[in-house]
Amino acid sequence: MESKHTVSVLVDNEPGVLARVIGLISGRGYNIDSLSVAEVDAESHISRITFVTLGNEETINKMIAQLQKLIPVKKAINITLDKKGIEREMALVKVVATGDKRVESLRLSDAFRAKVIDTTHDSFVFELNGSPVKIDAFIDLMTPLGLSEISRTGVVAIARGSEKL
Amino acid sequence: MVSIQLTGAEMVLQAFEDHKVDTLFGYPGGAVLPIYDELAKGKNSIHHYLVRHEQGAAHAAEGYARSSGKVGVLLVTSGPGVTNAVTGLADAMMDSIPLVCISGQVPSHLIGTDAFQECDAVGITRPCTKHNWLVKDINDLSRILHEAFYVAASGRPGPVLVDIPKDIQFQTGTYIGPETIKHKSYRPKLKANIDKIDEALKLIISAKKPIFYTGGGVINSGNAAVQLLREFVRLTGFPITSTLQGLGAFPGDDNQFLGMLGMHGTYEANMAMHDCDLLINIGARFDDRITGKVDEFSPHSKKIHIDIDPSSINKTIKVDVPLVGDVAHVLEDAIKLWKSNVYKVDKISVKSWWGIIDNWRKTDSLSFAVDKKVIKPQYAIQRLYELTKDKDCYITTEVGQHQMWAAQHYKFNKPNRWITSGGLGTMGFGLPAAIGAQVAHPDKLVIDIAGEASILMCIQEMSTAIQHQLPVKVFIINNQYMGMVRQWQELLHDKRYSHSYTDALPDFVKLAEAYGAKGIRVQSPADLDKGIQEMIDYKGPVIFDCVVDQNENVYPMIPSGKAHNQMLLGKDNEDKEISLEGKTLV
């Protein structure tokens, strides 16, 4: 059965490494729903790439095996499969509205613990952290209230407990 | 040597020397002039072979690597130089051949400006190399070069590319010797888990209808692996079949050998694969030419899979016991364990399994009707084999019908003697590969078994053979058709031979002479032996134009989308319908 899987990949942060990872995924016919990447170990230059993709468990296993074949890839795991993964995403959401709709958007943002980081008389920019599902829900609620623009970071993920990737 | 000051160009040659490279295939151009200049100074003992097209350089390096077990090295310029080499790199990637390709790049400050002969070499070659590097700092160059040789040759071998901007070739920096360089993270696993090996052996001793299915991984693992494989196969007494790339690992004329399997494999090999209860895959990858219809592939068997590449495990076929490791290491451990536990196979069951197999053998699926007037292509290969079998020949091929006939009718008793483009299926591979094999084995007889269509794709390399006095023999099975295309059109497209006939072939005898080689043409079976002998006896390069039956097809054949036990054995059962689903497969 196809479902969303979050995969974390630790790589040597060398030129072209992102292109290698992404090229492999697209070249073998897989899709990426979201992607985030940054260096996580400045001393030994290791980056963490997290992406969300659609597929069944077997497909994801094959994808991971292919990823591990890349020379700069140190580790790759399916965070979703371990069922211990914590997934978070950040979104910046611009809502343009006046009157009741403006008030309602502010009230709802409070319920979601979103922060107002910019405001004019007819707009807000909200900053929201949480699971992708929570962000989707917030966006759904904002749509009739004057949703104008969204920027999302893509999912970052980490496993619970003391174990290290 | 710990470190010395060298220019980038000097570093390249120094690294070659440090990695015991004495042979280089290449073609000069603007962006590699500093390296060529160093070659001209002659300080290093490197022999450069000038090809006529960079694709030829890559295939020659492949032929050199495949026939010698060493890393093949090529040197090409930027832009078209490297794009021309791409086919060869992709070919090496598919067939796991260790190559190091050094490409020149425009000077660093011009990168990204669409400069003359600029292309994104690392971008273009990323999916068709095992790894590649763009050198941005002279002080990284020696490390990258050492890593390149390490990555190309270790684990599952493959091609790598190092792209060096021209300014870096001129700059001076610190060269560090290979002994102090260790790759940060790449450490392929060589030894398999011993408990898993024991699990595999337990399956082997209880098997009633077992078969070994071996591939190019055995050859890549080296001579030790070949010897261990032979020992293990004899220890068990099991039948063995091989993929196209694995031919020669087990003697082709041995009674335990069932011949090649797969789309054009023997009846007994494919039937045994289908009916077996234990399949022992050693260094093969369940390629689609082997499996046929995946969901009907060897349906009743437990499967053991030895492979150094973990991504090969369960890629297309689910296996029961995966053994990730190098073939030689795994087999060594397996044999030790076998002997210390005094394991014994189920002899009675295996004997009756051989009875079934011997019955299949009676089908004689490689047989063909010999004709007195026209040369049958299979007959040509058979005669070539008979007249050269005592000579320890190196055989390369192009791609198509002739390649399959060569695989079926030429028997290989030693590894590394058979060099063919299996994965990518590159027409034009054979002649440059033969040149590479001849360079590695100057005193041996090297023959490119070719088709008249394929040979024209890299025919320019005849000029290379002449210049470097490499006495390669090109044995063209000439049926005027792209035979394999014609065969598929006959079977799948109602005999509409769309553009598969070559109407204006060159006169191959005159062509040979134009290059300065010898040309021989034979049209009648009666003259064949004499012609082949003449080819063998001639000291220089030969183009042999063997004019054969135009209508012969390669049999047996598993049609697209069919299972192993649904083979076509010959003309008689050609009219079986092939489903639309089957037609879409290639």
List, for residues A2-51, the tens digit of each pLDDT value. 899 999 999 999 999 999 999 999 988 888 999 999 999 999 999 999 99
| Residue numbers in A near B126 (CB within 8 A) | 16, 19-20, 23
Tell me which of B137, B156, B161, B185 to substitute to probe the interface with A (most A C-beta atoms closer than 10 Å): B185
H or E element at residue B465: helix B462-467
- pLDDT value of residue B43: 87
For residue B539, pLDDT beyond 60 = yes
How far is Cα B84 from Cα B107, in angstroms, rounded to an integer?
Answer: 20
A94-132 pLDDT per residue, tens: 999 999 999 999 999 999 999 999 999 999 999 999 999
What are the counts of helices (DSSP H) followed by strands (DSSP E) for chain B? 22, 20
- Note whether A68 contacts B310, CB cutoff 8 Å: yes
The verdict on B136 touching A (C-beta cutoff 8 Å) is yes
The answer to whether the beta carbons of residues B62 and B74 sit under 8 Å apart is no
The backbone torsions φ and ψ at residue B314, rounded to the nearest 5 degrees and listed phi first, read: 60, 20
Looking at chain A, which residue has its C-alpha nearest residue B126?
A20
- Note whether A66 contacts B122, CB cutoff 8 Å: no
B50: left (phi over 0), alpha (psi -120 to 50) or beta: beta
**Closest-CA distance of chain B to residue A62, Å:** 6
B311-367 pLDDT per residue, tens: 999 999 999 999 999 999 999 999 999 999 999 999 999 999 999 999 999 999 999
- Note whether A16 contacts B184, CB cutoff 8 Å: no
Mean pLDDT score, B176-197: 91
Burial B58-77 (b: 16+ CB within 10 A, else e): bbbbbbbbbbbbbbbbbbbb
B446-463 pLDDT per residue, tens: 999 999 999 999 999 999
- pLDDT value of residue B329: 98
- pLDDT value of residue B289: 92
Tell me which of A66, A71, A74 to substitute to probe the interface with B (most B C-beta atoms closer than 10 Å): A71
The residues, ordered by sequence, that sit 6+ positions from B204 with a Cβ below 8 Å of its Cβ are: B210, B236, B238, B278, B280, B304, B343, B345
For residue B574, pLDDT beyond 60 = no
Name the pLDDT band for B580 (thresholds 50, 70, 90): low
- Note whether A71 contacts B309, CB cutoff 8 Å: no
- pLDDT value of residue B182: 85
**Closest-CA distance of chain A to residue B310, Å:** 7
- pLDDT value of residue B159: 98
B399-448 pLDDT per residue, tens: 999 999 999 999 999 999 999 999 999 999 999 999 999 999 999 999 99
The verdict on B130 touching A (C-beta cutoff 8 Å) is yes
Chain A interface with B: residues with Cβ < 8 Å: 12, 15-16, 19-20, 23-24, 27, 58, 61-62, 65-66, 68-72, 74
Could you list the beta-strand ranges (E) of B146-198: 159-165, 172-176
Sign of CA dihedral B78, B84, B89, B90: positive
- pLDDT value of residue A161: 85
- Note whether A20 contacts B130, CB cutoff 8 Å: no
Looking at chain A, which residue has its C-alpha nearest residue B310?
A65
The backbone torsions φ and ψ at residue B108, rounded to the nearest 5 degrees and listed phi first, read: -45, -45
Mean pLDDT score, A71-82: 90
A–B CB contacts, 8 A cutoff, strictly below: 39
For residue B3, pLDDT beyond 90 = no
- Note whether A62 contacts B151, CB cutoff 8 Å: no
The verdict on B123 touching A (C-beta cutoff 8 Å) is yes
Mean pLDDT score, B391-401: 97
Name the pLDDT band for A81 (thresholds 50, 70, 90): confident
B236-274 pLDDT per residue, tens: 999 999 999 999 999 999 999 999 999 999 999 999 999
pLDDT cut 90: percent of chain A above it = 83
Range with lowest mean pLDDT among B245-259, B552-566, B567-581: B567-581
Task: Report the residue from A62, A66, A74 with minimal CB separation from B185.
Answer: A74
Task: Report the residue from B131, B309, B310 with minimal CB separation from A71.
Answer: B131
Mean pLDDT score, B200-207: 98
The verdict on B131 touching A (C-beta cutoff 8 Å) is yes
- pLDDT value of residue B582: 66
The residues, ordered by sequence, that sit 6+ positions from A43 with a Cβ below 8 Å of its Cβ are: none
| Residue numbers in B near A68 (CB within 8 A) | 310-311
Task: Report the residue from A58, A69, A71 with minimal CB separation from B311.
Answer: A69
- pLDDT value of residue B578: 62
**Closest-CA distance of chain B to residue A79, Å:** 19
**Closest-CA distance of chain A to residue B488, Å:** 27
- pLDDT value of residue B184: 84
- Note whether B310 contacts A20, CB cutoff 8 Å: no
- pLDDT value of residue B586: 65
pLDDT cut 70: percent of chain B above it = 97
Tell me which of B105, B126, B135, B163 to substitute to probe the interface with A (most A C-beta atoms closer than 10 Å): B126
- pLDDT value of residue A160: 86
Tell me which of B94, B184, B308, B309 to substitute to probe the interface with A (most A C-beta atoms closer than 10 Å): B184
How far is Cα B28 from Cα B75, in angstroms, rounded to an integer?
Answer: 8
- Residue B160, classed as helix, strand or coil, is strand
| Residue numbers in A near B185 (CB within 8 A) | 12, 71-72, 74
Which residue segments constitute the domains of chain A, with CATH numbers given? 3-83 (3.30.70.260), 86-157 (3.30.70.1150)
Structure tokens at B518: 């010898």
Mean pLDDT score, B90-94: 98
For residue A162, pLDDT beyond 90 = no
Name the pLDDT band for B235 (thresholds 50, 70, 90): very high
**Closest-CA distance of chain A to residue B185, Å:** 7
Count Cα atoms within 13 angstroms, Cβ side, for B257: 21
B5-38 pLDDT per residue, tens: 999 999 999 999 999 999 999 999 999 999 999 9
CA distances from B567 to B101, B292, B363, B364 (A): 41, 10, 12, 13
Name the pLDDT band for A83 (thresholds 50, 70, 90): low
Query: Could you give the residue ranges of the DSSP H alpha helices within B79-160?
Result: 80-94, 121-125, 138-153
Mean pLDDT score, B119-140: 97
Looking at chain B, which residue has its C-alpha nearest residue A59?
B315
Which residue segments constitute the domains of chain B, with CATH numbers given? 3-180 (3.40.50.970), 194-361 (3.40.50.1220), 377-547 (3.40.50.970)
For residue B583, pLDDT beyond 80 = no
Task: Report the residue from B126, B151, B186 with minimal CB separation from A19.
Answer: B126
- pLDDT value of residue B577: 58
Task: Report the residue from B151, B309, B313 with minimal CB separation from A71.
Answer: B151
- Note whether B126 contacts A15, CB cutoff 8 Å: no
Mean pLDDT score, B42-61: 95
Name the pLDDT band for B283 (thresholds 50, 70, 90): very high
Mean pLDDT computed over every residue of chain B:
95
The verdict on B188 touching A (C-beta cutoff 8 Å) is no
Structure tokens at B489: 């059109």
**Closest-CA distance of chain B to residue A122, Å:** 44
How far is Cα B77 from Cα B84, in angstroms, rounded to an integer?
Answer: 10
**Closest-CA distance of chain B to residue A101, Å:** 49
Name the pLDDT band for B183 (thresholds 50, 70, 90): confident
pLDDT cut 90: percent of chain B above it = 91
Task: Report the residue from A15, A16, A69 with minimal CB separation from B309.
Answer: A69
